[in-house]
Amino acid sequence: MIAEASKTMIGDEQIEKGIIFALSLGCTLLVTYGLFGREAKRRGGRVEKVFVELQRKSFHMVGGGALCASYHWGMKYGYLSSAFRVDHRTMSEKPLDAGLAFLALSFVAWMVDAVRLQVPCVRDWYLNTFKDLVRKKEYNKATGIAYFIPGVLAAMLAAPPNEAILGILFLCVGDAAASIGTAAGAIPIGSSPRMVEGSIGCFCVCAAISFWMGLSPRVSIYTSALVSFGEVLAEIIGLDDNLVIPMLGVLGIRFGQNPQFGGMAMTMGVGFSVSVALGAIVGITTPNTSKKSS
């Protein structure tokens, strides 16, 4: 079994249920948007924002669920080998390395975005066709899919298959809860566009998924807290959460099993001290040109 080979605490049966759940929920949200989306746009305001996110996140779930399904059942039926474990058999004896397969998909996503950004007619067609799915901040920069697949790949390389898939499900479903909660929310987190309701929604959904997948309550809470906190920080500093959340998910599981608060606090302190020292050195050694110009 995949779970035995990867030595993970999450069973294949639960992983398969999670993948099917993500795909089913994504399809349900898409149908909901199809039935009520026009009326929501007519009403405008917060209702419209929520339904816009319903549409976006339905594709988020379906696409992420499809990637998880490809990885899980590809290994189960011998078409792919784990991205986490190196297979030393010869090329003629082993299946396609999942890490290389998803790296190839990342290149495809990057090339599509590169063509869109470089060729005006392609950009116009893309934005007209997918205008409801592309955020304004993505008009002149990479879209979410350019970060989504590399984020999925990073989780696959960092953790056993079933734990990696759980991290990806955090992105599919937990991030959807965060976006929909933010669209419906009213309490901002500082000056960022993220809302408190979105972070609460992300935490609750990720905790529920973790517990359902067989993690202990403590590990579920630690993992969900790390994902929710990191997702907010990523939003504030401008990192794409499609890249960050899967990695936070798999590292959260590791942290939940063996929380090393002291070591992490020490590392943060050292990192902060080095940053301050480097900043001071740069400040001292950089000539002050303001006085010369005056």
Please state, in angstroms and rounded to a whole number, the distance separating the CA atoms of residues 34 and 156: 33
Q: Partners of 294 in the beta sheet? A: none
pLDDT at 4 over 80: no
If you search the block for the tokens 């009213």, which residue do you land on?
Answer: 186
Q: Is the pLDDT of residue 136 over 50?
A: yes
Q: What is the pLDDT of residues 68-107, one digit of tens each?
A: 999 999 999 999 999 997 766 666 667 889 999 999 999 9
Q: What's the CA gap between 275 and 294, in Å, rounded?
A: 31
Q: Look at the block and give the residue holding tokens 């066709």.
A: 129
Tens digits of residue pLDDT in 215-253 = 999 999 999 999 999 888 888 888 888 999 999 999 999
Do 171 and 249 contact (CB within 8 A), yes or no?
Answer: yes
pLDDT at 114 over 90: yes
Q: At how many degrees (to 10) do helices 196-212 and 12-43 cross?
A: 150
Computed over every residue of the chain, the mean pLDDT equals: 87
Q: How confident is the model at residue 134 (pLDDT cuts 50, 70, 90)?
A: confident
Sign for the pseudo-dihedral over CA of 48, 53, 58, 59 = positive
The string of pLDDT tens digits covering residues 154-193 is 999 999 999 999 999 999 999 999 988 888 888 888 877 7
Residue 1: the pLDDT is 39
The predicted structure's pLDDT at residue 90? 62
pLDDT band of residue 287 (cuts 50, 70, 90) is confident
Domains of the chain: which residue ranges? 2-261
CB 201 within 8 A of CB 177: yes
Element (H, E) at 80: strand 80-81
The answer, yes or no, to whether residue 152 has pLDDT greater than 70, is yes
Q: How confident is the model at residue 6 (pLDDT cuts 50, 70, 90)?
A: very low
Hey, what's the torsion of the CAs at 241, 165, 205, 134, to 10 degrees? 40
Q: Does 60 have pLDDT greater than 80?
A: yes
What is the rounded distance in angstroms from the CA atom of residue 5 to the CA atom of residue 50?
Answer: 41
Q: Which of 128-132, 170-174, 177-181, 279-283 has the lowest mean pLDDT?
A: 128-132
> What pLDDT score does 7 carry?
41
